[in-house]
Amino acid sequence: MNPTKPIADNGHFAESAGDHQPAASSRKKVLLASPRGYCAGVDRAVIAVEKALDHYGAPIYVRKQIVHNRFVVSSLEKRGAIFVDEVDEVPTGSILVFSAHGVSPAVVAAAEERGLQTIDATCPLVTKVHREVQRFAKEDYDIILVGHTGHEEVEGTAGEAPDRVQIIDGPEHADKAMVRDPKKVVWLSQTTLSVDETMETVEKLRIKVPTLQNPPSDDICYATQNRQVAIKKVGAASDLVIVVGSANSSNTVRLVEVALQAGAKAAYRVDFASEIQEAWFEGVSTVGVSSGASVPEVLVEEVLEQLAERGYGDVRNVTTAEEDVQFSLPKELRKDLKQAGEDTSNKTKR
Ligand code: SF4
């Protein structure tokens, strides 16, 4: 179940400034999607690295990008975090944080073997999918993992039971699924996929395997779903949509796709406001704005400032849900902070 409060959909937007009729007005304005930006899993992972830097001191090693955002990664690098691709790049005895996307048991074992002190910042909603893989593999199921080949989260999840998991990367690959026993096959998914495209993939899988079982609960997380619902409303009423986020952020890239599918005439992803191009604004009166789940709000504010300079200073919130999800810090870190009498909450000064 989605642990957030949806806003009643009465056919009108929930806005901060008056009653908006999407198609009627040609005045320049911005529709700002909400929810957008940081999710609970990203917030927790970033705070975990910040608190680890404060508590243990630099350097703190992080396997892969802690979250898929260039700005966040370079901000943490400036504070003393060192991002590595693999465990064998980390000096023995160092502290290593596993990113929000999760790791396979083989990576955990490699870190142990190297004598590293690890902090697991895997999002609890990714861990939930890992547990589902463990459970179904134990019951000798074939597990069809719908997700993007090569994405870190998918590698980590599939690594829980490599001999039982098949990755299906989109509806066009559904016919590649191989099943040993049609009574024992379940589909699970990456947490940051497009809801609509995933359903299309599952429908195609069901043509081949009609007995395919559903996941015990939604694997596509609340944050991904909420941001897609909001951008659908915004996209349907916008000439141009700008989504803030990095190219390797799956949920960000999905927001661009969903905006276009919802009817936006054009949609672009930018890491920074400086990437916005003059040519995008030809004949545009309504600009939709959102951001991926790994994007700090300061980057959206910079985009809004730039839009205001171009005459798009009338910003209206399009709110489709309220979120109040929070995850506590990784247990290894909490334990050390507690022992030292330091604050164990997932709050920082930022
Ligand atoms: Fe967790 Fe979803 Fe955020 Fe990923 S996008 S870190 S699964 S809450």
Respond yes or no: is residue 297 known to be catalytic.
no
Distance 182 CA to ligand 1 centre (A): 31
170: left (phi over 0), alpha (psi -120 to 50) or beta: left
Residues 184 and 199 in one domain: yes
The strand ranges marked E within the chain are 5-6, 29-34, 60-63, 81-84, 95-98, 117-120, 142-146, 165-168, 185-189, 240-244, 266-270, 286-291, 315-319, 321-322
Question: Residue 126 CA: which ligand 1 atom is closest?
Answer: 7
Residues 81 and 30 in one domain: no
Residues 141 and 61 in one domain: no
Contact (Cβ atoms closer than 8 angstroms) between residue 244 and residue 299: yes
CATH number at residue 238: 3.40.1010.20
Range of the domain at 266: 11-39+221-319
- Structure tokens that stand for 98 in this block: 């596993």
**2 or 187: whose pLDDT is higher?**
187
Tell me the chain's radius of gyration from C-alpha atoms: 21
CA atoms within 13 A on the CB side of 112: 7
Q: Does 346 map to a domain?
A: no
Tens of pLDDT, residue by residue over 207-266, are 999 999 999 999 999 999 999 999 999 999 999 999 999 999 999 999 999 999 999 999
Q: Which of 173, 208, 243 is the last residue of a domain?
A: 208
Query: Is it the case that residue 12 has pLDDT exceeding 70?
Result: no
Distance 250 CA to ligand 1 centre (A): 11
The pLDDT mean for the chain works out to: 93
pLDDT at 21: 43
Residues 197 and 240 in one domain: no
pLDDT at 51: 97
Residues 192 and 228 in one domain: no
Q: Does 105 map to a domain?
A: yes
Average pLDDT over residues 49-65: 98
Whether the CB of 191 sits within 6 Å of ligand 1: yes
Cis-peptide, bond into residue 59, ω within 30° of zero: yes
Q: Does 2 map to a domain?
A: no
Average pLDDT over residues 296-305: 98
Average pLDDT over residues 269-277: 98
The rounded distance, in Å, linking the Cα atoms of 161 and 257 is 31
Q: Does 345 map to a domain?
A: no
Closest residue by Cα to atom 2, ligand 1, is 221
Q: Does 92 map to a domain?
A: yes
Q: What is the pTM of this model?
A: 0.92
Residues 66 and 151 in one domain: no
Distance 221 CA to ligand 1 centre (A): 6
DSSP strand pairing (321-322 vs 5-6): antiparallel
CATH number at residue 91: 3.40.50.11270
Query: Is it the case that residue 143 has pLDDT exceeding 90?
Result: yes
**2 or 265: whose pLDDT is higher?**
265
Residues 333 and 313 in one domain: no
Average pLDDT over residues 2-22: 44
DSSP strand pairing (185-189 vs 240-244): unpaired
Q: What is the largest CA-CA distance in the chain?
A: 64
Q: Which of 208, 237, 270 is the last residue of a domain?
A: 208
Q: Which of 38, 39, 255 to mutate to test the pocket of ligand 1 (most atoms within 8 A of CB)?
A: 39
Query: pLDDT-derived band of residue 346, with 50, 70 and 90 as boundaries?
Result: confident
Average pLDDT over residues 150-159: 97
Residues 22 and 50 in one domain: no
Q: Which of 99, 148, 191 to mutate to test the pocket of ligand 1 (most atoms within 8 A of CB)?
A: 191
Exposure of 267 by Cβ count < 10 A (0-12 exposed, 13-18 middle, 19+ buried)?
buried
Question: What type of residue is 334?
Answer: R
pLDDT at 347: 79
